[in-house]
Chain A
Amino acid sequence: MADLGTSGQPQRPGSAFRVALMLPGSVVTLGLILFALGLLAILAFRFNDGSLFGAGFTLGNFRILASEPLYGLVILRSLTIAGLVTAATVVTAYPVAYYLSFHARSRALILFLVTLPFWTSYLLRVFAWKIVLAYNGVLNSGLIAAGIWSEPSTALLNTPAAVVLTLAHAYAPFAILPILVSLDAIPRSLAEAAADLGATPFTVFRRVILPNSMPGVLAGAVVVFVPTVGDYVTPALVGGPSSTMIGSLIQAQFGKAQDWPFGAALALVVMLVILAVILLVRRADHRFGSRL
């Protein structure tokens, strides 16, 4: 990438300009992101005494988290659902990215079509699945009208499967871009060399293309996993009580349950889970990175 300002530019631009350049970013990142996350981390270790910021210092919130099996179950369920959504999203996105990188003629148009849903309302996309899967919804009524089913099924809505399907649809475009970027970065000569040495197209894909595109696959997995693991809208709209996720619990602590410190502790657990996933991905990334 052609970065600016190395050789020709003086190292110290005018100080007033420099301050003006640094100010908005500093305020927003240091004063807003770090400040708010810091408060969250502190609140997780406080008692709930009904005041805004709790009181004292305690590990009680985490003790409850560890001792009540419900929380372990919900965290495990969130991980499972987010893991399934991530796997489904990445696996279905890969061929699209592959097509775009290697075969597409109207690449810009297809890329635009694929990413367009990302810019439409997330709430409406989830709502669309509610009307598809409802008892008297689109799928049931459509299959009955077509004579395939005789009576509507209740097994569609309010299931964990509905949550996985809806989230996989809602975050589908997220994974395509990172995979496409990594596929585009693979020198075409690599595939040609492998083919010249007698590799079949499938072997070229398996031994050359796929390993070299893994950084993009992993990046795509992270950007899908993060928003899905903390989601509470989809479980609320299409999931039913058997699909409560950790995000739903956090939302409840800041709503009906009115226990902010406990909600903060739950949120901290989510952030730690995400951190662990990112570290794992980093390690996998290094493994694949060394192949290039």
Chain B
Amino acid sequence: MSPAAAPAPSAPGRPRWLGVYLVAYLVFLYLPIVLIPLFSFNDSVQAAFPLKGFTLDWYRGLAGNAALKAALMTSLGIGVCAAFLATLCGMTIAYAELTLRSRLSRLIAGLARMPILIPGVVVGISLLIAVNLVGLGPSRLAIVLGHVLVALPTTVIIIRGSLAAVPRSLPEAAQDLGASDAIVFRRVMLPLALPAAVSAFMLAFLTSFDEFIVAFFLAGTQPTLPLYIWSQLRFPKSLPTVMALGTAILVSSILIAGAAELLRRRGLRRLPL
């Protein structure tokens, strides 16, 4: 898919077939995804070859769609709230794990990584039971809670990596100069970990924005964007519209993920190592 991934010239001990394999792997990875933008410009309801001609009709159809706009707003709101909470929790959990080193902080840091080991369907129904018992019920807030759990391992791991890379001499110097623990956190560690925190926020937002499996159980009357797409998949006629929408989502996801990666790297580079 990318010319940049072309195999490097065979140096000694650099098997050529590995480079070829890598290209094939990337093609397998991206080919199905590329089909969505391809057919979103195709002038046919069927996603089939040969292509019928270029059109922007499916994109025009997106503009006036009120249900779609409502779903987009719901997803944006949920994504921002969930990403903020997941980043806040990720920052405090990682910082507590590294500095307090108490049994509780380690237990919490372990539990925060646990959602990796729970299938989405189980997260979804467990939270559904919980929010119903508490009286909250399926709602946007319920989805926010679900997405905080799903994104938490990512934010904890990214922010912990950045905090752990800060040389110990920096907080020690601040303390020697009389800074309290809160000041060390606010004036030394937080600024250094800020790029990682922003990167974690963006990836948590993406996780929430694209998340379907958990949201399926926790949605009330207002569907998120993936739930809206899911409801449209039943109608063969809306297939091209889904592909136009999918293209827009893919492009924004790729831009956000790219920006998050750049930020994370810049954050690590900025450290005085």
Contact = CB atoms under 8 A, between A and B. Distances in A.
B229 interface: yes
B99 A5 contact: yes
A117 B239 CA distance: 22
B226 interface: yes
A123 to B, nearest CB: 5
Which bracket fits the contact residues of B? Answer: 35 or more
Interface residues of A, number: 98
Contacts of A140: 48
Nearest to B185: A17
A140 B35 CA distance: 14
B184 to A, nearest CB: 8
Most buried by A among B101, B126, B242: B126
B49 A145 contact: yes
A124 interface: yes
Contacts of A145: 49-50
Interface string B113-152: 0111111111101111110110000000000010011001
Given A33-B115, A92-B25, A121-B249, A141 B121 contact: no
B166 interface: yes
A160 B8 CA distance: 38
Nearest to A261: B129
B230 interface: yes
Interface string A1-12: 111111011000
A96 B28 CA distance: 13
A128 B133 contact: no
A22 B104 contact: yes
Contacts of B26: 113-114
B36 A250 contact: no
B164 A1 contact: yes
Contacts of B213: 122, 231-233
A4 B99 contact: yes
Interface in B135-186: 145, 148-149, 152, 163-168, 171-172, 175-176, 180-182, 185
10 contacts: A9-B99, A13-B181, A25-B109, A39-B130, A103-B13, A103-B14, A123-B230, A127-B242, A131-B47, A145-B49
Interface of A: 1-6, 8-9, 13-14, 16-18, 20-26, 28-30, 32-37, 39-40, 43, 52-53, 92, 95-96, 98-99, 103-106, 108-110, 112-114, 116-117, 119-125, 127-132, 134, 136-138, 140-142, 145, 169, 172-173, 201, 222-223, 226-227, 229-233, 237, 247, 250-251, 254, 260, 263-264, 267, 270-271, 274, 278
